[in-house]
Amino acid sequence: MLHTATPSIYLDHSATTPVRPEVMAAMTPYFAEFYGNPSSIHAVGRRSGAALTRARRTVAELLHARPGEIIFTGCGTESDNAALRGLALARRAATGADRLITLPIEHKAVLYTAQDLRDHFGFRLTLVPVDGAGRVAAADVIAALGDGEDVAAVSVMLANNEVGTIQPVAEIGARCRELGVPFHTDAVQAAGRLSLNVEELNVDALSISAHKFYGPKGVGALYLRDGTPFLPFMTGGSHERGRRAGTENVPLAVGLAEALTLAEAERPAENERLRGLRDRLIGRILEEIDGAQLTGPRAERLAHHAGFIIEGVEAEGMLIGLDLAGVAASSGSACSSGSQRPSHVLEAMGYAPGLAAGALRLSLGRSNAPADIEYAADTLAEVVGKIRGSS
Ligand code: PLP
């Protein structure tokens, strides 16, 4: 097929998203115009302080939480670290409980933190297996909890970044609540795509990151339920009610709040639009490319997310071929692109390493129109054909 000008089609919204103009506009005054330290007593500081208060209130409302339960952080990874370390260390200090429960398909921000707590802080770790679609059975987590007495913290992600699977968080949370075990969810991929109502989800802690929903990079938030024992790992000041020391990043907090407001307002309609485009993309790829299979479930998955394995084709070649034709895609998580090791997520789902090497993730977003989907499907078929033809 002959393409005149190389288009620029971004299908990697699970890795990151562009900052929306409305978000840029909301943040801009707080860099150089209203630059005060929100802790300062003078008017310049009070102006920033008021913006920070508004941002916190906005995020709290969207999560059905109280403003004092929102902690602004430096990213999703920090929110996950703060939650896991903070909950586990506090509960162990109070009760001696020393076991962590999580999933083998968690993002490394959770998985590696849990492993670090095991390897360097003396915790025991239970990884509850998932099925071939990457979904954990709530009953399996509940069984792993037992009477909960030896469990320091549980962390189960709301939606997976590589395969888009949605987990039964509310059900698991209900049992954790009965047992009094602190429960965290990594909602970094879910934010702007699923409801983040912390009451309905039965969570004590929840992580989000602005750059996944058209906000800036370098800012996240952690919801922490009032009364949940927590040991901060950032000490040094009374910022964020003593739970995360460091002068608050007012412009980025304002940006996160604005981005989440817009994403929540548009969520139902945008999800429906993206689901239509995604299903068309999945349909075409499964029909037109031999040896293509969907990873993750067909139904219980994020609306914008399509993950595949293309048998006998290495991800790297596919990604380069797509990129040359103007399509930005990924093999799974942004962090594992470029590393040769097959993804720990696909491994935990039971894929043989050889198959997992052909993983492809196409994650849609606001900029994608129906024509992009047709072009991406045409281009992928062409790229896979070329790779197969030359090998
Ligand atoms: N958790 C999940 C599920 C993610 O997808 C990511 C980013 O890819 C993170 C955590 C880390 O977020 P951040 O990039 O803001 O550190």
Question: Tens digits of per-residue pLDDT, 3-33?
Answer: 557 789 999 999 999 999 999 999 999 999 9
Residues 6 or more apart in contact with residue 139 via CB below 8 angstroms: none
Q: Please name the residue whose Cα sits nearest to atom 5 of ligand 1.
A: 161
- Give the structural domain span for 150: 21-262
Per-residue pLDDT at 340: 57
For residue 344 the two structure tokens come to 């720990």
Residues 95 and 230 in one domain: yes
- For 96-121, give one letter per residue: b (16+ CB within 10 A) or e: ebbbbbbbbbbbbbbbbbbbebeeee
For ligand 1, say whether the CB of 249 is within 6 Å of any of its atoms.
no
| Structural domain count, the chain | 2
Q: What is the 219 CA–ligand 1 centroid distance (Å)?
A: 11
CATH label of the domain that carries residue 14: 3.90.1150.10
The verdict on 177 and 272 lying in the same domain is no
Residues with a known catalytic role: 335
| Closest CA relative to residue 23, chosen from 249, 256, 263 | 256
Q: Which of 77, 103, 155, 165 to mutate to test the pocket of ligand 1 (most atoms within 8 A of CB)?
A: 77
Tracing tokens 């103007």 back to the chain, one arrives at 326
Domain boundary at 232, 262, 292, which? 262
Q: Which of 107, 158, 333 to mutate to test the pocket of ligand 1 (most atoms within 8 A of CB)?
A: 107
Which of 325, 274, 339 has its CA nearest to residue 303? 274
Residues 218, 328 within the same domain? no
Among 223, 242, 262, identify where a domain stops: 262
63 and 103 share a domain?
Answer: yes
The domain boundary, picked from 209, 232, 262, lies at: 262
Distance 40 CA to ligand 1 centre (A): 32
Ligand 1 atom at minimal distance to the Cα of residue 78: 16
107 CB under 6 A from ligand 1?
yes
Q: Which tens digits make up the pLDDT trace of 319-341? A: 999 999 999 999 975 444 455 57
Kindly report the pTM of this predicted structure. Answer: 0.96
From the CA of 218, give the closest atom in ligand 1: 15
Instruction: Note whether residue 2 is domain-resident.
Output: no
Q: Is 186 in the pocket of ligand 1 (CB under 6 A)?
A: yes
* Position in ligand 1 atom list of the atom nearest CA 211: 15
- Work out which ligand 1 atom sits closest to the CA atom of 106: 3
151 and 300 share one domain: no
CA distances from 372 to 138, 281, 364 (A): 38, 10, 10
Per-residue confidence in pLDDT tens, the chain, 391 aa:
555 577 899 999 999 999 999 999 999 999 999 999 999 999 999 999 999 999 999 999 999 999 999 999 999 999 999 999 999 999 999 999 999 999 999 999 999 999 999 999 999 999 999 999 999 999 999 999 999 999 999 999 999 999 999 999 999 999 999 999 999 999 999 999 999 999 999 999 999 999 999 999 999 999 999 999 999 999 999 999 999 999 999 999 999 999 999 999 999 999 999 999 999 999 999 999 999 999 999 988 999 999 999 999 999 999 999 999 999 999 975 444 455 577 999 999 999 888 888 899 999 999 999 999 999 999 999 999 999 988 6
Residue-level pLDDT at 333: 52
* Residue 353 domain flag: yes
Q: What is the CATH number of the domain that holds 257?
A: 3.40.640.10
